[in-house]
Amino acid sequence: NTNHAHTYTHVQHGHTMWWGTLGTMRPFQPFDPDLDARRIYAALDNKTVDVRTLIWILTNRTNAQRQNIAVAYHNLAQKDLNAVLKKALSGAVQELLLALLMTPAQFDSHRLRHSMEGLGTDEEALLEVLCTRSPEQLRDITIEYKQAYGRYLEKDLISETSKDFTKLVLAILKKEELNTTGEIDYQVIAQDVKSLKDAIIAKKSDPTPWIQVLTSRNADHLNRVFSRLEDMNGEPVDKTVQSNFSGDLRLGLRILVQTIQNTPLYLAQRLHTSMKKNSVVRGILVGRSEEDLLWVRVHFRKLANSSLYSTIEKEFKGDLQLALLGICRSEDI
């Protein structure tokens, strides 16, 4: 199953880290946070900031290691590394390095907040975070969101969305897998297929069963449901969703279906269509760097007919290019 890289949970300084085995970032050895902190201090101390050193260190350490470096820097300089970077740098490089210093839950919270701020909501950015995270990760994100912004994620989602789309995003946020992993329950599969099918036979499609089933089962179970549905309808589930629902709800259900079927493929497609959008590229590269970025690269290569690495080389320049390549890590031939 390419969907879920085996993840180890690693606790450091009260932060839970999610490590996938298919990420591009591995623990740097031998790791010395004090040495890294001194190098960063020196890089920031000059009149001209040595951005390359900052990039080299921060894109070569895991998130847990970067948290340790930030603590070591604070002990050394008596200043907050985030604040110093914010002042010393600007633009896209600043945003990227600050993103690398956030814990995974902080970064996802930041992306969710960003997708809802200002005029209009960026539904796809919102859905990308919600649909690609596990129930456990979503709980961490909800707590972090409140800590970071003094706001309730659920309330913000309600005020930024409407009608059935609101129901969908709240169901995703609170998703709990009710069926047991590793057991195939053919009876429940048959029931789910029937309720999804019945919901779209009527004159007006009823999204409720779709929302309910897709947010309360694990991916293995749902993929069995989808393949039966595809046999019955003679078309991909994505197409069924497209022709039976509309607006934000359709977008939400489509992304949910795509991420259930194959998250790295969905992310590769999103990168492929949004290469010009800095925030999307940053979001996926930073957000997946310790989970499944290797798989995303494989799918991207097939889709785009060129590697993610060389596409970044072509689309970006200067320090930002260097930093993104550092996270992407290597070329796929």
Helix-then-strand count for the chain, H and E: 19, 2
| Delimiting residues of CATH 1.10.220.10 domain(s) in the chain | 23-101+292-332, 104-174, 186-261
Mean pLDDT of 257-277: 96
Q: Which fold has domain 104-174?
A: Annexin V; domain 1 (1.10.220)
Looking at the chain, the whole-number percentage of residues with pLDDT higher than 90 is 83
Q: Which two tokens mark 253?
A: 């259900």
In tens, the pLDDT along 170-221 reads 999 998 777 666 778 889 999 999 999 999 987 789 999 999 999 999 999 9
pLDDT given at position 19:
46
Whether the predicted pLDDT of 321 surpasses 60: yes
Whether the predicted pLDDT of 15 surpasses 70: no
pLDDT given at position 47:
81
Place of tokens 């179970």: 221
Mean pLDDT of 26-48: 93
Whole-angstrom Cα distance, residue 204 to residue 302? 38
Of 26, 24, 3, residue with least CA distance to 297: 24
End-to-end CA distance of the chain: 23
Whether the predicted pLDDT of 5 surpasses 70: no
Decide: 107 and 287 in contact? Cβ < 8 Å.
yes
pLDDT given at position 181:
65
Backbone angles phi, psi at 212, to 5 degrees: -65, -50
Decide: 324 and 53 in contact? Cβ < 8 Å.
no
DSSP 180: P
Phi-psi region of 78 (alpha: psi -120 to 50; beta: other; left: phi over 0): left
Mean pLDDT of 137-163: 95
Whole-angstrom Cα distance, residue 205 to residue 61? 49
Whether the predicted pLDDT of 319 surpasses 60: yes
DSSP 78: S
Helix 135-149 vs helix 153-160: crossing angle, to nearest 10: 90
- Name the CATH superfamily housing domain 23-101+292-332: Annexin (1.10.220.10)
CATH architecture of 186-261: Orthogonal Bundle (1.10)
Residue 140 sits at the vertex; the CA angle it makes with 72 and 271, to the nearest 5 degrees, is: 85
Mean of pLDDT over the chain = 91
In this structure, the number of other CB atoms found within 10 A of the CB of residue 285 comes to: 27
pLDDT given at position 179:
66
The pTM assigned to this predicted structure is: 0.89
Whole-angstrom Cα distance, residue 9 to residue 11? 7
In tens, the pLDDT along 51-84 reads 999 999 999 999 999 999 999 999 999 999 999 9
Whether the predicted pLDDT of 10 surpasses 50: no
Alpha helices (H) along 19-162:
33-45, 51-58, 63-77, 81-88, 91-101, 104-116, 123-131, 135-149, 153-160
Cis peptide before 264 (omega within 30 of 0): no
In tens, the pLDDT along 272-286 reads 999 999 999 999 999
Of 293, 299, 259, residue with least CA distance to 18: 293
Place of tokens 């009527």: 202
Decide: 290 and 20 in contact? Cβ < 8 Å.
yes
Mean pLDDT of 25-43: 95
